[in-house]
Chains A and B, each alone.
Chain A
Amino acid sequence: MSDTSTQPAIRTRGVTRDFMAGSQAITVLHGIDVEIRAGELTYLVGESGSGKTTLISIMCGILYPTLGEVEVFGTDIYRLSDAELVAFRLRNIGFIFQQYNLIPSIDAASNAAVPLIAQGVARAEARARAVEMLAALNIADQADKLPSQLSGGQQQRVAIARALVHRPRLVVCDEPTAALDARSGRRVMDLLREVAVAPDRACIIVTHDNRIFDLADRILRLEDGYITHDGAHMPEDH
Chain B
Amino acid sequence: MIWIAIRMLTGDAQKFYGLVFGIAFSTLLITQQLTIFVNLLERGASAVFNVPSADIWVMDRVSRTTDVAYPMPSTALDKVRSVPGVEWAAPHLRATASVRTGDGDLEGVAIVGVDDATLIGLPRRMAEGSIDVLSRPDTVIIDDVGTTNMFEDGRSPIGERLELNDQRAVIRGIADAVPSFTSQVTLYTKYSQALRYVPGTRNRLSFVLVGAAPGVDHQQLVARIEAETGLRARTRDQFAQDGIDFIVENTGIPLNFGITVALGFVVGVAIVGLTFSLFIRDNIKQFGALKAIGVANGTIRRMVAAQAALVGLIGYGLGVLGTIAFIWSFSAVPTFKGFYIPWQIPLISLAAVVLILALTGWIALRRVLKTEPAAVFR
Instruction: Spell out A's residues near B (CB within 8 Å).
Output: 53, 56-57, 60, 62-63, 83, 86-91, 93, 95, 97-99, 101-106, 110, 114-115, 117-118, 123, 162, 174, 206
In contact, A115 and B12 (Cβ under 8 angstroms):
no
Chain B residues numbered 1-52 whose CB sits less than 8 Å from any CB in chain A: 1, 3-4, 7-8, 10-12
Q: 24 A-B residue contacts at CB 8 Å?
A: A53-B378, A57-B374, A63-B372, A63-B374, A83-B296, A87-B294, A87-B296, A89-B293, A90-B294, A91-B294, A95-B289, A95-B293, A101-B286, A103-B8, A103-B283, A103-B286, A105-B8, A114-B290, A115-B293, A115-B294, A117-B4, A162-B293, A174-B377, A206-B377
A95 to B377, CA, bound (A): 10
Contacts of B3 in A (CB 8 A): 117, 123
* Given A103-B8, A106-B11, also A95-B292 (CB < 8 A): yes
Interface presence of B295 (CB below 8 A): yes
Partner of A90, one of B7, B286, B295: B295
CB distance from A72 to the nearest CB of B (A): 13
Contacts of B8 in A (CB 8 A): 103, 105-106
Closest to A89 in B: B294
A56 to B376, CA, bound (A): 12
Contacts of B123 in A (CB 8 A): none
Contacts of A110 in B (CB 8 A): 4, 7
* Given A101-B289, A105-B8, also A118-B376 (CB < 8 A): no
A102 to B289, CA, bound (A): 8
In contact, A101 and B285 (Cβ under 8 angstroms):
yes
A26 to B21, CA, bound (A): 48
Closest to B286 in A: A103
Chain B residues numbered 222-262 whose CB sits less than 8 Å from any CB in chain A: none
A103 to B286, CA, bound (A): 6
CB distance from A87 to the nearest CB of B (A): 7
Contacts of A97 in B (CB 8 A): 289, 292, 376-377
In contact, A105 and B295 (Cβ under 8 angstroms):
no
Interface presence of B219 (CB below 8 A): no
CB distance from B230 to the nearest CB of A (A): 76
A90 to B286, CA, bound (A): 16
Contacts of B297 in A (CB 8 A): 86
Query: Number of contacts between A and B (CB, 8 Å)?
Result: 86
Interface presence of B299 (CB below 8 A): yes
Instruction: Spell out B's residues near A (CB within 8 Å).
Output: 1, 3-4, 7-8, 10-12, 283, 285-286, 288-297, 299, 372-374, 376-378
A181 to B228, CA, bound (A): 104
In contact, A86 and B377 (Cβ under 8 angstroms):
no
Contacts of A91 in B (CB 8 A): 294
CB distance from A63 to the nearest CB of B (A): 4
In contact, B7 and A62 (Cβ under 8 angstroms):
no
Contacts of A95 in B (CB 8 A): 289, 292-293, 376
Contacts of B4 in A (CB 8 A): 103, 106, 110, 114, 117
CB distance from A211 to the nearest CB of B (A): 21
Closest to B11 in A: A105
Given A104-B11, A106-B4, 18 further pairs, Cβ under 8 A: A53-B377, A56-B377, A60-B292, A62-B292, A63-B372, A83-B296, A87-B296, A89-B294, A90-B295, A95-B289, A97-B292, A97-B377, A104-B286, A105-B10, A105-B11, A106-B8, A115-B293, A118-B299
CB distance from B325 to the nearest CB of A (A): 31
Partner of A86, one of B11, B294, B378: B294
In contact, B376 and A101 (Cβ under 8 angstroms):
yes
Closest to A62 in B: B373
Contacts of B372 in A (CB 8 A): 62-63
Contacts of A117 in B (CB 8 A): 1, 3-4
In this complex, the member of B283, B294, B376 whose beta carbon has the largest number of chain A beta carbons within 10 angstroms is B294
A60 to B372, CA, bound (A): 13
In contact, A93 and B7 (Cβ under 8 angstroms):
no
Contacts of A89 in B (CB 8 A): 292-294
CB distance from A71 to the nearest CB of B (A): 18
In contact, A118 and B292 (Cβ under 8 angstroms):
no
A93 to B373, CA, bound (A): 13
Contacts of A118 in B (CB 8 A): 1, 290, 293-295, 299
Contacts of B377 in A (CB 8 A): 53, 56-57, 62, 97-98, 174, 206
In this complex, the member of A89, A91, A105 whose beta carbon has the largest number of chain B beta carbons within 10 angstroms is A105
A114 to B360, CA, bound (A): 27
A63 to B292, CA, bound (A): 10
A162 to B283, CA, bound (A): 18
Contacts of B299 in A (CB 8 A): 118
A53 to B372, CA, bound (A): 13
